[in-house]
Amino acid sequence: MLTVSLSAILLSLGCGIGFAGADYFRKAVPATCPNPLVLFYFIGGQIPILALVVALSDDVRMTSGYWLPGVVDVALGIGANLMFVAAVRRSPLSMMIPLLALVPVLTTLAAAVVLGEIPSLRQLSGTGLIVIGLFALYMPQGEGVSPTASWTALRREPGVQPMLLTIVGWSLTPVFDKLCINASSVSMHGLIQVTAICAISGVWVITSYGLRGLLPPPGSKLPLLGSAISAGLGYGLQLAAYQTTMVAVVEGLKRVTGLLAALVVGRIMFAEPITRSKIVGVGILAIGVPLILFG
């Protein structure tokens, strides 16, 4: 029977809260701040943490086999993160973050296709619950149980399209992560990825807006700083949690915390309504996600 220490639980919950804070701050950044600049500061906050991990690590290997999957991983990271910012700017946080429950679903499918890892019955059950949970989440008030109405509401939500692109990117990333860490140490891989994403987003901003484009627009300094600190804190606690328990436990607690935080933060900070559909949908998702991760 799996036993989880109190420190593992607290570190995992802290990790989830840190990343939930980063979600909030990215949405709170004023629209005058370009998406690549948001990404530049958000990712930049994680570099010191990973640099410290590399400095303290005994394994800093990297071989030539790293570069092809590594470049693909960077491209996926840039695209997925930019689309995430676009999605949460267009739609309520409480309607966007729960969609990320699809990430482990697509990751499981991608692993089956690329790596030959066949999903278990538990993972298939979790997939079914996630689909049901999302339909419940998007069920319009007063419509009763109507998959057609849910599907229509889902398609009409402005942030859904970029969030689906985010989901595809983040679902493929773990597959390429596995290929990358076969050719490098975990710590080196993490540092290379965040440094490359930060550098490319910075060059993007400079190319589009000049050097002064790296300066935060009025009203965006605190949210950008908050996103960087929250992301760095979340990543640091995640790495610490990995040392105390199974990765699946950390990921499960982190994702369930993110689901619940999206409802609470959306309500408190952005006056998003908490409806029965959201409560039921998130509740079902919170059951389905761990089933996939513990498959």
**Spatial contact of 262 and 88, defined as CB atoms under 8 Å apart:** no
pLDDT attached to residue 141: 81
The answer to whether position 1 is within a domain reads no
Q: Model's pTM, two decimal places?
A: 0.91
The answer to whether position 132 is within a domain reads yes
Name residue 242's amino acid.
Y
pLDDT of the chain along its 295 residues, tens only?
A: 567 788 989 999 999 999 999 999 999 999 999 999 999 999 998 898 889 988 988 888 888 899 999 999 999 999 999 999 999 999 999 999 999 999 888 888 877 887 777 888 999 999 999 999 999 999 998 777 788 999 999 999 999 999 999 999 988 888 888 889 889 888 889 899 999 999 999 999 999 999 999 999 999 999 999 999 998 888 888 878 888 888 788 888 999 999 999 999 999 999 999 999 999 999 999 999 999 988 7
Beta strands in 52-180 (DSSP E): none
The answer to whether position 176 is within a domain reads yes
Quote the number of domains for the chain: 1
Range of the domain at 16: 6-293
- Alpha carbon 217 to chain centroid, angstroms: 25
Token digits of residue 289: 């996600």
Burial class (CB in 10 A: 0-12, 13-18, 19+), 174: middle
pLDDT attached to residue 274: 94
How far is it, in rounded angstroms, from Cα 242 to Cα 162?
A: 30
pLDDT attached to residue 163: 97
The answer to whether position 114 is within a domain reads yes
The answer to whether position 136 is within a domain reads yes
The answer to whether position 90 is within a domain reads yes
pLDDT attached to residue 21: 95
pLDDT attached to residue 1: 55
pLDDT attached to residue 45: 84
Q: 3-state DSSP helix/strand/coil percent for the chain, to nearest 5?
A: 80, 0, 20
pLDDT attached to residue 261: 96
Q: Which of 129, 159, 120, 153 lies closest to 275 in space, CA to CA?
A: 153
